[in-house]
Amino acid sequence: MIVVGLDLGGTKIAAGAFDGKRLLSHVILPTPKEGGEAVVRALAEAAEKAEEEAGVRAEALGLGTPGPLDFREGVIRFTPNIPGVRNFPIRRLLEEATGRPVHLENDANAAALAEHHLGAGRGEASSLYLTVSTGIGGGVVLGGRVLRGERGQGGEFGHITLLPGGPPCGCGLEGCLEALAAGRALERDASYAYHRAVDTRELFRLFQEGEPKARRLLLQAARYVGMGLASLVKAFDPGVVVVGGGLALNAPEGYWEALLEAYHGYLKGWEAPPLRKALLGAEAGLLGAALTAFLEVKHGGG
C-alpha cells in the first residue's frame, strides 16, 4: 500500500510517497503567496510530482497543516501564516483536485505520530511529543493513534497557562508556555534586554560566551519547558516524552540541563518517564502526514 504525505507550511509544501516505513520520494514546492485555492492546486501538483518521482500511484493522501482544524468537516478554521484559508474546506477541494481520499492532521500532531512510530518513541505503547520552535505545539499518541480530543483541540501544549498575568500570547490569552519559552518569546525578551534586535541564533552564541543576560533568558525558558512537561506527564502519564523543534534541538547543552532539572524537579515524588530528543528532524511533519493516511487506509478509514 502506498500513500502520499503532504506537509503544508507557510513558505513551502513538502510531499513524499510512503510505503508505511519510509519515504520513496521527496518533493518541495513553494506555498503560493496568494493562498486560498492556489494552495490546493500546489498541493495537488506536489502530490503528483511525488508519485512520478517514486513511480507509484497512491491510494490516499495525508495532509499535515497548521491551524485549528475541524476534522469532521475537513476544514481549516484559520492559520495565521497562509492567507485565504479561514473556514476553508481543504479536504473536499483537495479530494476533487486529486481524485483520492484525503486525511487531515494538525502539523504538530503529525510530527508526534511520526516520532511515535518511526522515531524516538518507537516501541512504546504511548508517547507525548513537544515541539519547541518559533512556537510550541505537541501531541499525545496512545494505541498508535493521535489523541485529538472531542473537539480536535488536543495537543495544544503551547497554550497551557504557566504564568497568570504573564506576557500576552498569540492565542489571545496570557502567560502561556509559548509566550514564555518559544523562539518568538525569546527574541522578544532578548531584544528588550539588549535594546536591539536579537534572534535566537545570536542568543545561543551569547549564551555560550557566558553573557549573563543570555544565560538568564535561555535558562528561564528551559525551566518553563521542563515545568510544562512535568505538568503534562501528570495529566497523561506517557511511556516516553519526546522533545523536538528547531529551538530545542539546536540549543546549547546548558539549556537541556536546565530543562531536565526542572522536569525532574516538578516530578519529585512521581515516576518520571524517560525524556528523549526527537530523531526525525524536519521530516517529522511529512512522515506524520503520510502515516495519518496510511493508518486510516490500513484500518478501514478510507
For residues 59 and 18, is the Cβ–Cβ distance under 8 A?
Answer: no
Element (H, E) at 128: strand 126-132
On the question of pLDDT at 31 being above 50, the answer is yes
Instruction: For residues 170-198, give the mean pLDDT.
Output: 96
- Residue 235, classified by CB atoms within 10 Å of its CB into exposed (0-12), middle (13-18) or buried (19+), is exposed
Q: In this structure, are residues 60 and 296 in contact, taking their beta carbons and an 8 Å threshold?
A: yes
Mean pLDDT of all residues in 25-37: 95
Which uninterrupted H or E stretch holds 196? none
* pLDDT: which is higher, 154 or 111: 111
Rounded mean pLDDT of 161-188? 95
pLDDT of residue 79: 85
**Poorest-pLDDT segment among 66-70, 89-93, 128-132, 227-231:** 66-70
Is residue 200's pLDDT more than 90?
yes
Instruction: Give the pLDDT of residue 80.
Output: 74
Query: DSSP E strands: which ranges in 135-246?
Result: 136-142, 145-146, 240-244
pLDDT in the model for residue 81: 79
What pLDDT does 301 receive? 53
Rounded to two decimals, the pTM is 0.93
What local confidence, expressed as pLDDT, does residue 297 receive?
Answer: 93
Q: Could you tell me the sign of the dihedral formed by the alpha carbons of 43, 44, 49, 51, in that order?
A: positive
pLDDT tens, position by position, 246-266: 999 999 989 999 999 999 999
* Res. 150 pLDDT band, cuts 50 70 90: confident
- For residue 302, pLDDT over 50 is answered with no
Give the pLDDT band of residue 149 (cuts 50, 70, 90): confident
Place of cell 477541494: 93
CA separation for the pair 43, 32 (Å, rounded): 10
Looking at residues 105-129, what average pLDDT do you find?
Answer: 96
Mean of per-residue pLDDT scores for the chain: 95
> Confidence class of residue 154 from pLDDT cuts 50, 70 and 90?
confident
- Report, as an integer, the average pLDDT of 7-11: 93
